[in-house]
Structure 1
Amino acid sequence: MTASAPSSDRPTSPTPDPRRELGAALRRWAAGGAGSIGVVRVLDRHGFGTVESGQLLAGTADGETAGLLYLGALDDAAVPLASAAAGLPQTRAAHVAESAALQAGLACAGGATLLGHPLPAALAEALGAALEEARPAALLSTVDGAAALVLTGPDLEEAHGTLEDGPPGLDAEAARVARELLRRGATVTERRTVGDTEVLVDLWVPVPSVLVVGSGAIGEALLAQAALLGWAGRAVTELDEARAAVQAFTEADVVVLLDHAPRFDAMLVDGIRRGRGFLGALGSRRTQAARRERLLRAGLTEEELATVHGPVGLDLGARTPAETAVSIVAEVIAARSGRAAQALGASEGKIGG
């Protein structure tokens, strides 16, 4: 029987979160007695256009897989590698022609070096739990896949496994690098030289949550823009609500203060001292200057005040509420990725995350 399309008066099921589904699979395999699970990660790539960081495919020795690499365009190489990697680390080259890339939904052709390596059951359980429960997590390995370390928790304070087949102190230094990346508040895949060891880092950060403090057309446009990006968002107008939300902030969270009332200075003080997330404040330069003087009198330092993005937003020449919302989320994205906001044509760096 052919299923009918959902009608407008019948709610549709929410789209499953692929990261949570991957986490559930890792936990299921670990609990089922799999001694080791194969994971496939992107060691190097060229082409493909802009693609998400944190790509991960996992599989068991008997051929079951979960996760996705580049919308499935690399499956011919990645799927058998996931099974083989449960027993032995190895790399494999994968190339995707233009027609196949476009068919998969990528922007253009490309190639990648894939790293497949075992992930012991205890590490798979730890990583799977963090992914399934939408908590920050990092998977680090030597670039040959011989050793792996999983970090979980709000500040990546929980360590599972070790990289220390290499030099002593490598785990601590690699964890420091991962926590430094966490402060950007964005999911990343990077190769880093840690001491004398090259390490592949995949860091997963939960989707941002935007808190708009205040009301009006700009706030409505900002929440609409956040929804378009797949970010959670809500608006509050009371100080107690705003302070409670900021006290619970993670690195992924964003607050944009629209209300110019001095009473909301207390929320900014909370956010600055909490030291997490993106703090932005709208307002004219006169409003910003008056707020700055009040915060200095409240005991904040110039260095602390520099952590507030104000006036929030990139200088795009925005005139309408919708354009202002674009400028604000653009600054959030730039800050989360650690990039200077400039035209791509003026940049010589890597395009995309």
Structure 2
Amino acid sequence: MLDIAGELNRWLAEGRDFAVATVVAVSGSAPRGPGAALAVDADGTAIGSVSGGCVEGAVYDLCTQALADGKAVRERFGYSDEDAFAVGLTCGGVLDILVTPVPADGLGRKAFRTALSATARGEAVALARVVQGPVKLLGQALAVRQDGSYEGELGGHPDLGRAVADETRSLLDAGRTGTFDLAQDGSHCEPDLTVFVESSVPPPRMLVFGAIDFAAALVRMGKFLGYHVTVCDARPVFASRTRFPEADEIVVDWPHRYLHRTETDERTVVCVLTHDAKFDVPLLETALRLPAAYIGAMGSRRTHADRDRRLREAGLTEVELTRLHSPIGLDLGARTPEETALSIAAEIVATRHGGTGLPLSGSHTPIHRDTVGPRPGRSARVAA
């Protein structure tokens, strides 16, 4: 649901009644993962998507019904063997969807408002909702912040609220979306509650080193994929806002020196486009010892061989060197800066999700596989 936070935040500000349908579990092949949402207001306006079209009509009807009767409901949609055009997922998967009414005067609106406004501001927050358990608790929500504070309540039980907030914070700290079980007394003994947690974290960083024409195309691709993009180059004449209007940050500094002082984490992507030993060797020596999600370096195979030799002389181990994607990108036959940026982005996506990079028509791997790591953007949809 947090992937449509901007529009829902506007609906809240306008005092609209609405219902939101959220994917809370997926099995088999499905076009969208946990956290995907469709919302419908009292006038029938719809935003978002839960299935890319397969069950949108039926889910829309559930939302209008929830608005009418004020009751949350959980429904399962799967493949129909008898009629591929019946309500179901013709791709063969199964979706569990929670539909929650959010009336303008409802008590649960405070939790939604907190989660949606924090997401819209780019702050870390998690929305926890009961997806299985007593009917009176179904759909009730808490918005949990990184410091452990929260808004909302669960059936007027403060002890249960605190227990859910504690569990939710653990998922938020990891930037994960998923479910956990609890008993109504907040313990893990004989659980009779299932809680779905959707985490929203600030976008991951893409660090592009080397202010060249290929970098300009990669900046645009990085923004399209939801990254916070920084361009760094030691040459002020090239590292300028005029050349990189879409970058979030432009830094004039020696690349390795900037990488030493800036923040990185397990979601950070590092793209080295300098292909100049005096820049990229000290930079990669630093990068390959950081917990980055992806590290790639541009250059010919001859440049790569020379770079590899220099890095080994600098003391990098075989394990550290295996993290380097060089030459950078997948083999798409790319020529132009835009095509090259696409090949780099394709390799980043394949690395993040464990993809092979092979044509789907010639492979037998699942089209929709479990996500390996948190996705960029506001909602990191990784099943716990």
TM range (shorter): 0.5 to 0.7
Superposition pairs of residues 54-69 of structure 1, within 5 angstroms: 54-58=35-39, 67-69=47-49
Distance 2:123 2:113 in 1: 13
Do structure 1's residue 258 and structure 2's residue 273 form an aligned pair?
yes
Identical columns (%):
23
Structure-1-length-normalised TM-score: 0.62
Q: Deviation at 1:256? A: 0.7
Superposition pairs of residues 135-284 of structure 1, within 5 angstroms: 135-144=123-132, 145=138, 147-152=140-145, 156-157=146-147, 159-161=149-151, 169-182=163-176, 190-191=178-179, 198-205=194-201, 210-216=206-212, 218-223=214-219, 225-226=221-222, 229=225, 233=229, 235-238=231-234, 240=253, 243=258, 247=262, 253-259=268-274, 260-263=276-279, 275=291, 278-283=294-299, 284=304
Alpha carbons of structure 1 residues 171 and 229: separation in structure 2 relative to 1, 3 Å: closer
Distance 1:244 1:205 in 2: 22
For the Cα contact (< 8 Å) 2:205–2:264, is it kept in 1? no
Structure having the higher helix fraction is 1
Please report the RMSD computed on the Cα atoms of aligned residues, expressed in angstroms: 4.9
Q: Deviation at 1:258? A: 1.8
Alpha carbons of structure 1 residues 117 and 210: separation in structure 2 relative to 1, 3 Å: same
- 341, 355, 376: which one pairs with 1:325? 341
For the Cα contact (< 8 Å) 1:57–1:65, is it kept in 2? no
> What secondary structure, in the 3-state scheme, does the structure 1 residue paired with 2:195 have?
strand
Alpha carbons of structure 1 residues 52 and 293: separation in structure 2 relative to 1, 3 Å: farther
Q: Which runs of 5+ in 1 are unaligned?
A: 1-16, 183-188
Q: Identify the residue that residue 50 of structure 1 maps to in structure 2.
A: 31
> What secondary structure, in the 3-state scheme, does the structure 2 residue paired with 1:150 have?
strand
Q: Deviation at 1:316? A: 4.2
Distance 2:161 2:305 in 1: 51
Deviations 1:262-290 (A, max 9, x none): 45566667767885664443451441452
> What secondary structure, in the 3-state scheme, does the structure 2 residue paired with 1:325 have?
helix
> What secondary structure, in the 3-state scheme, does the structure 1 residue paired with 2:143 have?
strand
Q: Deviation at 1:213? A: 0.9
> What secondary structure, in the 3-state scheme, does the structure 2 residue paired with 1:51 have?
coil
Structure-2-length-normalised TM-score: 0.58
Q: Which has the larger radius of gyration?
A: 2
Letter in 1 for 2:72: P
Q: Deviation at 1:341? A: 3.6
Number of residue equivalences: 311
Do structure 1's residue 39 and structure 2's residue 39 form an aligned pair?
no
Distance 1:38 1:223 in 2: 37
Q: Which runs of 5+ in 2 are unaligned?
A: 103-107, 133-137, 183-187, 235-251, 372-384
Letter in 2 for 1:55: A
For the Cα contact (< 8 Å) 1:94–1:112, is it kept in 2? yes
For the Cα contact (< 8 Å) 1:23–1:132, is it kept in 2? yes
> What secondary structure, in the 3-state scheme, does the structure 2 residue paired with 1:211 have?
strand
Q: Deviation at 1:41? A: 0.8
